[in-house]
Amino acid sequence: MRLVTFNVLHGASPVDGVVDLDRFAAVVASLDPDVLALQEVDRGNERSHAADLADVAARAMGAASSRFCAAMTIDTDGRWHPAPRTPAPDMTAYGVALVSRHPVTAWRELRLPLIRPRFPVVRREPRRLELRREEHRTAVLAEVATPEGPLLVASAHLSFVPGWSQLQLLALRRAMAATPGPALIMGDLNMTPPPARRVSGFRPLATALTFPVDEPVRQIDHVLARGDVGDVVGTASLRLPVSDHRALVVDLDRRRLGRAPGRAPG
């Protein structure tokens, strides 16, 4: 099974900012994922040709199941707002997605804790201090029916504000604790491996620098596991012609999980 998490920058090239849907689909197809977690995903936005990027990815990889979870929506004046709990299908939105070649037996969308007041941020160019409001953050959870048994998977994009991302990860961990068995957290967690491991209680399946794309200096994209998800047989951090992040890839051998107890492999 190949797992991929990818913050896709709404499908844009890091070179010129252009969104080419054929290029985006080709990138997804080249990754050949069985389970794909996407962040910074557009649906119905003019900057990405009003496409549903989760659906483009699902068709490119031959998926059986997919779900987009809106974090923000945009109004007719171009202003972003927190997404309602049940946004209209034709509403311009931005958020996370999970796409699977295996059937999904249950979905859940999770709203993560939000910083409500504005907070100070130092801009680099031009260098100045400004007050900003944090965007809403969400996660989408799926119970994936794999040939080796059920697997709970989450795709998340957490806050870039130190400390707040850890609070959001803790909320995600608590939500996933209600479903026993093996589980994965995949996504742009906006934190390095030590706090990701400590706060989630999950173990990392890949250690690789993922951001920024050209010369990455830190890992903020993760695939974390709880329980026995199989044996890691390969990992990669891939520079692709889409996004300012690298895609993080984990290959698992899960065949031993499907063997009946006491039965010798054939």
pLDDT digits (tens, 9 = 90+) for 5-31: 999 999 999 999 999 999 999 999 999
Residue 262's pLDDT is what? 44
pLDDT at residue 248 in the model = 98
Which of 69-73, 92-96, 255-259 shows the lowest mean pLDDT across its residues? 255-259
Q: Quick one: fold of 2-256?
A: Deoxyribonuclease I; Chain A (3.60.10)
Is the CB of residue 146 less than 8 Å from the CB of residue 1? yes
Write the pLDDT tens digit of every residue in 82-138: 888 778 778 899 999 999 999 999 999 999 998 765 656 666 667 776 656 778 999
Least confidently predicted of 40-54, 118-132, 197-211: 118-132
Exposure of 118 by Cβ count < 10 A (0-12 exposed, 13-18 middle, 19+ buried)?
exposed
Burial 198-219, CB ≥16 within 10 A → b, else e: ebbebebbbebebbebeebeeb
Q: How far is CA 118 from CA 40, 42, 84, 134, 165, in A?
A: 22, 25, 21, 7, 16
Give the pLDDT of residue 90.
80
Q: What separation in angstroms does the CA of 46 have from each of 105, 182, 209, 234?
A: 33, 39, 31, 37
So where are the chain's domains?
2-256
